[in-house]
Structure 1
Amino acid sequence: MSDKEEKCHQLFRLTSDSGGDATYEWYKNRVEERVDNTCIWFLEQKKFQEWLQADSGPLLVSADPGCGKSVLARYLIDSYLPRSATICYFFFKDKVQDKVRQALCVLIHQLFSQKPYLIKHAMPEYNKDGEGLINSTESLWKVLRNAIGDPQSGPITIVLDALDECSELELPDLTQNVES
């Protein structure tokens, strides 16, 4: 990456809005690791196996609070999802990490970290908005859509955990964009 592209790339690496240095890795790693022989039931589910074989599309996992969805998400990210795909993730956290723009920045940062040549899809928006790019949800969606739509991007798996902790006002936009 050029210096300008690297500056753009690092712009997407957000830390906690509360002034701490909590990163997306910290939020994932705060989730407990799975206990032996757990999560297996999910891996064997027909819908999950069909989703793994599909070219694209969302898979929604829902259950009551405390049933292990976040543990499952961490396990899938760290150990189970095929490494032939680029894996990007975001763990929502109520009132701390609950904005769609935060999720988009994190996903874009991870994607560009793994596939630096895709940064070209951010540069037009970065040249237009500079550091303000990370404050425009619309521009961030555009960057992410263009990058994942690049024929050279290959398979990409995005894991979003704790959608119920996404800002209530922003959740409709998130779900609509994920569906499209």
Structure 2
Amino acid sequence: MLSDIASIITVLQLTGEVIKYLKDIKYAPKECRDCATEASNLYGILINLLYHLNLDQTGGAWFTAVRNLNVENGPLDQYKQALEQLRSTVEIQDGVQKVKQRLLWKFSKEEVASILARMERLKSLVNIALEMDHLKLSLAIKEDTLIVRNTLPLLQAHVVAIQDTQNLQWDALKLQERHAIIEWLSPTDFPAQQHDIITRRHEGTGQWFLDSPEFKRWLQGSDKTLFCPGIPGAGKTMMAAITVDHLCRTIQGDDIRVAYLFCSYKIQADQSATTLLAAILKQLVQSLPNIAAPVKEMYDFHSRQRSRPSFDEIFCALQSICSSYPAVYIIVDALDECANRDGARNRLVNKLCDLQVSTDMRLLFTSRSLPEITSMFQSALILEVHASEEDVRCFVTGQMPRLSKCVQRDDGLKQAVQDKIVKAADGM
């Protein structure tokens, strides 16, 4: 007896809560208003029923009939499920009103009709109960139970479908936020540049670089920093792209990450030490299934302030991300083309080297042999980049079909062309 009264009180509290949420929805559709109206009507009727139950606690036939409203999957239980279904759609989650409002009211007309039907059935049964006719009430509850049995699988399917839809919508919002954070970190698309460069590689070239003892020592971690100087036109950028391609194909996985920069004098204003460090952070973050907490916190703070993170903030976030991997490889191409206003280039190199203190960071730099740059790598492993005779000859051989037929038919002439071009290339 007391449990039945308690159940009605619980349903009343839930009804009041849902009514409040429904009324708070801005630009609510007609279906939403209909649910709010029906819930309000039921609230008043249930209050009346609760009053009569408190008056008549003798356990007579009428009271016994009313108790059947509260059986499992009975009218009261069905109504409670409808309320919880509504509340799960309209309540605020995580205190974020704006995000949650985008998820509001995704019911189809059929689903709303099902909810309203459950409300209407309970309202009819309670009205019969208030007539104090226990025989009529018993027959009505029996008939309603048959309806519920027939429709319950369909209702459950609707609930699952709604939950799946909400989950998909929430996942879409998280993906949208993830994309916004990644683009906020850095608009530069170095992977696109990498693709453009590596597609111009002639098959087989650059293998000498990957097979060199210096590269293997760096790859295995015997030496953490590899400096690759070279004259203009020696193929430094191509060697950097070949290195990135080799690392991504052979060692990059869930535990080991690769990031890279292609510096350019043409856009020095957009490639400060801060933006380049942010571009590295972007590449490491976008490979994670979820945005790392330090980056999310940095984004949330600066989004509210309409500001950009400082160099030190980005470095701290990068340090945190790198520490979560056993090893990280970073390739910086054309360091000489990175502007050194106020010592920005030196600061970039020094901070990347600082990461080697707390993480397994492997660094590879390419650059022209400028004194102010080579002085920073006096203790580093050095591998000079040059256009090897094998690479030039391989490339020229691949271009032979472009020559006239008379040259292609003459093996001696073809050999002479190859020898002259290889000699004229002189390491470029």
Same fold flag (TM > 0.5) = yes
Q: Based on CA coordinates, which of the two structures has the bigger radius of gyration?
A: 2
Identify if the C-alpha distance between structure 1 residues 154 and 50 changes in structure 2 by more than 3 Å, giving closer, same or farther: same
Identify if the C-alpha distance between structure 1 residues 6 and 40 changes in structure 2 by more than 3 Å, giving closer, same or farther: closer
Q: TM-score, normalised by structure 2?
A: 0.36
Q: Which runs of 5+ in 1 are unaligned?
A: 16-22
- RMSD between superposed Cα atoms in Å: 2.5
Q: Which runs of 5+ in 2 are unaligned?
A: 1-170, 355-428
User: Which residue identity is paired with 2:245?
Assistant: D
Residue number in structure 2 paired with 1:103: 276
Native 8 Å contact 1:88 1:107 kept in 2:
yes
Native 8 Å contact 1:133 1:140 kept in 2:
no
Residue number in structure 2 paired with 1:27: 193
Name which of 36, 42, 47 aligns with 2:214. Answer: 47
Out of 140-149 and 24-33, give the one that drifted further: 24-33
Supply the distance in 2 between the matched residues of 1:43 and 1:36 (Cα, whole angstroms): 14
Pairing 1:77–2:244 present: yes
Supply the distance in 2 between the matched residues of 1:115 and 1:102 (Cα, whole angstroms): 20
**Percent identity for Structure 1 against Structure 2:** 21
Supply the distance in 1 between the matched residues of 2:308 and 2:195 (Cα, whole angstroms): 28
Native 8 Å contact 1:9 1:119 kept in 2:
no
Residue number in structure 2 paired with 1:133: 308
1:91-122 deviations in Å (ceiling 9; x for gaps): 11114153222222221111111123452121
Supply the distance in 1 between the matched residues of 2:297 and 2:223 (Cα, whole angstroms): 27
How big is the shift at 1:46? Answer: 1.3
Supply the distance in 2 between the matched residues of 1:79 and 1:50 (Cα, whole angstroms): 15
Q: Name the SS for the 1:89 alignment partner.
A: strand
Supply the distance in 1 between the matched residues of 2:222 and 2:302 (Cα, whole angstroms): 34
Pairing 1:163–2:329 present: no
Q: TM-score, normalised by structure 1?
A: 0.80
Identify if the C-alpha distance between structure 1 residues 128 and 25 changes in structure 2 by more than 3 Å, giving closer, same or farther: same
Native 8 Å contact 2:186 2:275 kept in 1:
no
Name which of 244, 260, 269 aligns with 1:89. Answer: 260
How big is the shift at 1:80? Answer: 4.5
User: Which residue identity is paired with 1:88?
Assistant: A
User: Which residue identity is paired with 1:57?
Assistant: K
How big is the shift at 1:56? Answer: 7.6
1:107-163 deviations in Å (ceiling 9; x for gaps): 1111111123452121232233235335x222111111111012xx34221111111
User: Which residue identity is paired with 1:25?
Assistant: P
1:39-74 deviations in Å (ceiling 9; x for gaps): 122112212111111178222211111111100111
Q: Name the SS for the 1:128 alignment partner.
A: helix
Q: Name the SS for the 1:133 alignment partner.
A: coil
1:8-46 deviations in Å (ceiling 9; x for gaps): 23312414xxxxxxx323433443632233212211221
Native 8 Å contact 2:338 2:345 kept in 1:
yes
Native 8 Å contact 2:277 2:348 kept in 1:
no
Out of 72-81 and 45-54, give the one that drifted further: 72-81
**What count of residue pairs does the alignment treat as equivalent?**
170
- By relative contact order (CA 8 Å, sep 6+), the higher-ranking structure is 1
Name which of 134, 149, 152 aligns with 2:323. Answer: 149
Out of 65-74 and 84-93, give the one that drifted further: 84-93
Pairing 1:7–2:180 present: yes
